[in-house]
């Protein structure tokens, strides 16, 4: 249970859940893509959006897990409109294939929720030979957004509804390498820090959203772009962190002090569905 419940200007607090912050919203005319929807806050984001009537397309690396999530959502919400499509954000080929398949389907796109991510993994390279955290957390989402932006623009014009692009970043964007994003040393294994590399990728999420928002506004396009920190949440993102003998204590503390998944998805769902 999240112990800090002081309400902010929105009327909600860190203990508010995704269902609570979207109560009374109607998403029946909207279509959303949620990446990384087969686990964690991605699953809860997809579920709550579907609960509010949004047609949710889940971009998932593990298709079998995605189908299980889809079946669970439809079992709970028989009227839910949910699809699962394969998407590996660490592979530009996979991103291009997903974007092409979605565009060819003729579906509109109102909401793009760039949620998928990995955290503090050991040094590895993606299929495209890019440091894995930067490739997955930033490059894949950057490319996906670029490839789907025309569809979002067409949808915004046709529906006269504001489109929304949401990058799920992290407070860790403040704790990257001392020089910020090491563009000339992305693949430098000798100076690699798993946490700084994670922060670097999350800083890229923030800068991407900021610059995209500026350009969209400058062009008079009715689409917003935002990045957000969902809070510190007890999910499998922490699987690469070796806590050694204190793991048990951290697990107990986490249940008390960390957000649960229902709370962790709240900010994303609020930004996606709430009125201006």
223, β-bridge pairs: 163
Domain membership of residue 11 (yes or no) is no
Question: What pLDDT score was predicted for residue 2?
Answer: 44
Question: What pLDDT score was predicted for residue 240?
Answer: 45
**The Cα angle at residue 18 between residues 120 and 108, in degrees rounded to 5:** 90
Total tally of structural domains belonging to the chain? 1
Q: What is the mean pLDDT of residues 172-190?
A: 94
Distance CA 107, CA 71 (A): 21
Question: What pLDDT score was predicted for residue 140?
Answer: 98
Distance CA 99, CA 131 (A): 22
Cβ(173)–Cβ(203) below 8 Å: yes
pLDDT band at 26 (very low <50, low <70, confident <90, very high): very high
**One of 175, 177, 192, 198 is an active-site residue; which one?**
192
- Note the residue count of the chain: 276
For 244, other C-beta atoms within 10 Å of its C-beta total 7
Question: What pLDDT score was predicted for residue 4?
Answer: 54
Domain membership of residue 13 (yes or no) is no
Does residue 196 register a pLDDT over 70? Answer: yes
Domain membership of residue 5 (yes or no) is no
User: What's the chain's average pLDDT?
Assistant: 90
Ordered alpha helix ranges (H), the chain = 18-21, 40-51, 63-76, 92-104, 132-134, 140-159, 194-218, 247-257, 261-264, 266-273
Q: How far is CA 10 from the centre of its chain?
A: 21
Question: What pLDDT score was predicted for residue 275?
Answer: 80
Question: What pLDDT score was predicted for residue 253?
Answer: 45
Does residue 60 register a pLDDT over 90? Answer: yes
Question: What pLDDT score was predicted for residue 45?
Answer: 98
Q: Higher-confidence residue: 175 or 258?
A: 175
Q: What is the mean pLDDT of residues 110-118?
A: 97
Cβ(17)–Cβ(44) below 8 Å: no
Q: Which domain holds residue 241?
A: 20-273
pLDDT band at 117 (very low <50, low <70, confident <90, very high): very high
Strands 111-114 and 81-86: unpaired
Question: What pLDDT score was predicted for residue 34?
Answer: 98
One-character DSSP codes across 159-217: H---EEEEEE--GGGGSSBTTBS-GGGTT-STT--HHHHHHHHHHHHHHHHHHHHHHHH
Domain membership of residue 95 (yes or no) is yes
Q: pTM of the entire structure?
A: 0.90
pLDDT tens by residue, 246-266: 444 444 444 445 889 999 999
Dihedral (Cα; 143, 145, 148, 154), 10-degree rounding: -150
pLDDT band at 178 (very low <50, low <70, confident <90, very high): very high
Does residue 114 register a pLDDT over 70? Answer: yes
Does residue 233 register a pLDDT over 70? Answer: no
Cβ(202)–Cβ(170) below 8 Å: yes
Question: What pLDDT score was predicted for residue 67?
Answer: 97
Does residue 183 register a pLDDT over 70? Answer: yes
Does residue 228 register a pLDDT over 90? Answer: yes
Q: Is 270 a catalytic residue?
A: no
Domain membership of residue 194 (yes or no) is yes
Distances (CA, A) of 191 to 134, 185, 188, 205: 15, 9, 6, 22
Question: Tell me, what DSSP letter sits at residue 53?
Answer: T
Domain membership of residue 7 (yes or no) is no
Domain membership of residue 6 (yes or no) is no
Sheet-wide strand order for 111-114: 81-86, 55-60, 31-35, 111-114, 163-168, 223-228
pLDDT band at 198 (very low <50, low <70, confident <90, very high): very high
Domain membership of residue 185 (yes or no) is yes
Q: What is the mean pLDDT of residues 100-126?
A: 97
| Percentage, residues of the chain above pLDDT 70 | 89
User: Which domain CATH number covers 31?
Assistant: 3.40.50.720
């Amino acid at each position: 249970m999240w112990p800090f419940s002081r309400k902010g200007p929105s009327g909600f607090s860190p203990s508010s859940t995704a269902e609570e912050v979207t109560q009374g919203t109607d998403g029946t005319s909207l279509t959303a893509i949620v990446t990384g929807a087969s686990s964690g806050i991605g699953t809860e984001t997809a579920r709550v959006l579907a609960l509010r009537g949004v047609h949710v397309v889940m971009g998932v690396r593990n298709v079998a897990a995605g189908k299980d999530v889809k079946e669970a959502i439809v079992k709970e919400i028989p009227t839910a409109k949910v699809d699962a499509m394969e998407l590996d954000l660490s592979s530009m080929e996979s991103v291009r294939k997903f974007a092409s398949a979605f565009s060819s389907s003729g579906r509109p796109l109102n909401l793009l929720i760039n949620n998928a991510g990995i955290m503090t993994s050991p040094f590895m390279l993606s299929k495209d030979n890019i440091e894995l955290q930067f490739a997955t957390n930033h490059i894949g989402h950057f490319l996906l957004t670029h490839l789907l932006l025309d569809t979002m623009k067409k949808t915004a014009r046709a529906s006269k509804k504001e489109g929304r692009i949401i990058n799920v970043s992290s407070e860790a964007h403040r704790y990257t390498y001392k020089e910020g994003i090491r563009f000339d040393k992305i693949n430098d294994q000798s100076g690699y820090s798993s946490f700084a590399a994670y922060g670097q990728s999350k800083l890229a999420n923030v800068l991407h959203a900021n610059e995209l928002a500026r350009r969209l506004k400058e062009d008079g396009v009715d689409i917003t772009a935002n990045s957000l920190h969902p809070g510190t949440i007890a999910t499998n993102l922490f699987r690469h962190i070796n806590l050694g003998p204190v793991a048990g204590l951290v697990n107990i503390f986490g249940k008390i002090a960390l957000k649960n998944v229902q709370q962790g998805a709240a900010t994303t769902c609020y930004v996606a569905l709430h009125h201006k």
